[in-house]
Amino acid sequence: MARIAFGSFGDSFSVGSIKAYLSEFIATLLFVFAGVGSAIAYSKLTTDAALDPAGLVAVAVAHAFALFVGVAIAANISGGHLNPAVTFGLAVGGNITILTGIFYWIAQCLGSIVACLLLHLVTNGKSVPTHGVASGMNAFEGVVMEIVITFGLVYTVYATAADPKKGNLGIIAPIAIGFVVGANILAAGPFSGGSMNPARSFGPAVVSGDFSQNWIYWLGPLIGGGLAGLVYGQIFIGPYSAAPSSDDFA
């Protein structure tokens, strides 16, 4: 069974936990500012605000770089989640308590909101783009797309950062996490928007006042993140036994 724990208020309000919430707030703010800012900047530099191939690549690269940095700067303090779906996936595997995870969600969403407010302010009131499924797609297809790509993200988090037998991967984990997000945006951006992150979608929705499709970017990523935590935690971590030595393959 999944090792889900509710936790206690004492642990969730310890000095270390409060530092973790602040770290998640700052790292998410920086990530969203760069990610959403790249979309605003591209629309300013082009006459057509629609996302063309060059714009898709630019936004994907900006998100990949920003997430790599965000995870790296927060990893030693909070674990570098920057994403409610990652936090939920790690809670399913018993890596964080539900109560502490809720405060992570609050910090992440606040960081995203502040980032979008700052973008709206410093760009002289330019509109903050929100996530939405592409024309010709329905909400169900958008949810499934977000489930799949978020599963890939959280599975990568487990494999490179949360697996106790991973060894010392050092800087490889943030790079891998950033890369999978960039790759998923390239694949899903023209269809579902490639969010994978409820906080990343929530901040723009709050600032723009458009919540019409925001539920898709909570439901899909949370299901995908939870499934990744369940699969990796139960199959690869739960019943873990040492891998055969190299001699066994001679």
For residues 170 and 66, the model is more confident at 66
CA 57/CA 79 separation, integer angstroms: 28
Q: Which residue in the block uniquely carries the two structure tokens 């499924």? A: 133
| Residue 10: band (very low, low, confident or very high) from pLDDT cuts 50, 70, 90 | confident
Q: Which residue in the block uniquely carries the two structure tokens 């800012």? A: 37
Residue 51 pLDDT = 58
pLDDT tens digits, residue range 49-62? Answer: 555 788 899 999 99
pTM above 0.95, yes or no: no
Residue 47 pLDDT = 60
The secondary structure of residue 192, as a DSSP letter, is T
| Residue 7: band (very low, low, confident or very high) from pLDDT cuts 50, 70, 90 | confident
pLDDT tens digits, residue range 168-192? Answer: 666 799 999 999 999 999 999 999 9
pLDDT tens digits, residue range 100-135? Answer: 999 999 999 999 999 999 999 999 999 999 999 999
Out of 3.40.640.10, 3.50.90.10, 3.40.50.300, 1.20.1080.10, the CATH code matching 9-236 is 1.20.1080.10
CA 177/CA 156 separation, integer angstroms: 6
Helices (H), 46-171: 53-74, 84-92, 98-122, 139-157
For residues 7 and 131, the model is more confident at 131
